[in-house]
Amino acid sequence: MNKAAFYDLDGTLLSCNLVTMHAYYARNDRSLVKSVYQLSKVVLSVPLLFGLDLYSRSLFNVFSFRAYKGMHRDRLIGLADDLFEVTIKPSIFPQAKALIDCTRDLGYRNVLVTGTLDFTIRPIALHFGFDEIICNRLEFKNHIATGRVLTPLLAENEKARSIREYAAQEEIDLAQSCAFSDSSADVPMLSSVGHPVATNPTHRLRRIAMRNNWPILELREPSSTFPPFLRPAKAL
């Protein structure tokens, strides 16, 4: 049987999130006026999105994806490399790459399981060297985003279901696999594997991790040590 390392993205490997990613597209519209208008909309929506994220990650995703309505897919793909350089790359946590290299060296298949949208993922996946990606996709009609996300919306329980389905297809032993996330919304995903790791956890996830004896990892700190089940490779 194979084993896999499942990674969440936002907050786990990097500090930026769906809102900062959309803010990049908003401020890079085709004209200055459009950019200002789009960016204003993003700024005004921040309190609502903050509240929604506390209540439900799925609702947060649905609302944040609505902001893409009317955008051309060509532009979303065409600016993705710049988005990566400007917004995403500077927000990558110092130890993130080392962790992914470590799980690869230990024979895990690195799989990114994220609510982030597909067109933003490509440069991230190439940077980290992910083998496989499970992510969200926007709905398009004639290349224009409708603002809706294609089902199933990847968040909370759906992430866990996707992992189980993937494991069944690829003959992955989930008991030997590990998962990394920062959010309590991903508790179902973390609970699906034998080695869950609360990574840069929120207060709520930290409490859950301590209750369940899950290791806690801080990728923001260059001096943090990896959990025991990952240490042999690091020592090598």
Partner 1 sequence: MKTLSPWRWNAVRGEYEAGPPPRPHGSGQISAVDAFRNCTMLLMGGTGFVGKVFLAMILDRFPELRHLIIQVRRKKNVSGEQRFFSDILNSPPVRPTVDRLGGLDALRQKATVWEGDLDEPLCGISAEVLAHWKGKIDVVVNLAGVVDFDPPVNESFETNVYGTQHLIDLVRLLDTRLVHVSTCYVAGKRNGKVPEDIEINGYFPRRDESPDEQFSVQKELEWYEQFVKETRESRHTNPRPVRERLREGGMNRADYWGWTNTYTYTKSMGEQMLAQTPGLSYCIVRPAIVESSMEFPFPGWNEGFTTSAPLVLMGGEGVKGWPVRKDGPLEVIPVDLVAQGILIVTAAMLSGKSKRVYHLASADENPIMLPRLVSFLGMNSRYKHKHKKEGNRLANAWKAYVETQVITVESLQARRSRLHRGLDIIHAALTLGKTILGAKKVDPYLKSLRDTRRQIRAQEITLDKFLPFMFHNSFIFETRNIREAAAMLTDEDLRRIRWNPESIDWADYWVNIHTKGIEKWIRPMFGSSKKPGTG
Binding residues (CB under 8 A) for partner 1: these are 30-31, 73-75, 77-82, 85-86, 118, 121-122, 125-126, 130-135, 137, 139-144, 150, 162, 166
* Residue number with CB closer to partner 1 (5 or 121): 121
CB of 61 to partner 1, least distance (A): 16
State whether the Cα torsion 100-104-107-108 is positive or negative: positive
- In Å, how far from its chain's centre is CA 92? 12
Tokens of 216: 């806690």
- How far apart are CB 94 and partner 1 at their closest, in Å? 22
**Nearer to partner 1 by C-beta: 66 or 75?**
75
Supply the angle between the helices 18-27 and 57-66 in degrees, to the nearest 10.
10
Residue 5 Cβ vs partner 1, minimum distance, rounded to whole Å:
15
Q: Is 122 or 234 the residue whose CB approaches partner 1 more closely? A: 122
Q: Is the peptide bond before 227 cis (omega within 30 degrees of 0)?
A: no
**Judged by CB, which is closer to partner 1: 144, or 233?**
144
* Residue 99, helix vs strand vs coil: helix
- Least distance between partner 1 and beta carbon 132 (Å): 5
Q: Which amino acid is at 99?
A: L
CA pair distance 16, 9, nearest whole angstrom: 9
Nearer to partner 1, 20 or 146 (CB): 146
Strands 195-199 and 178-181: what pairing?
parallel
- Least separation in angstroms between CB 148 and partner 1: 11
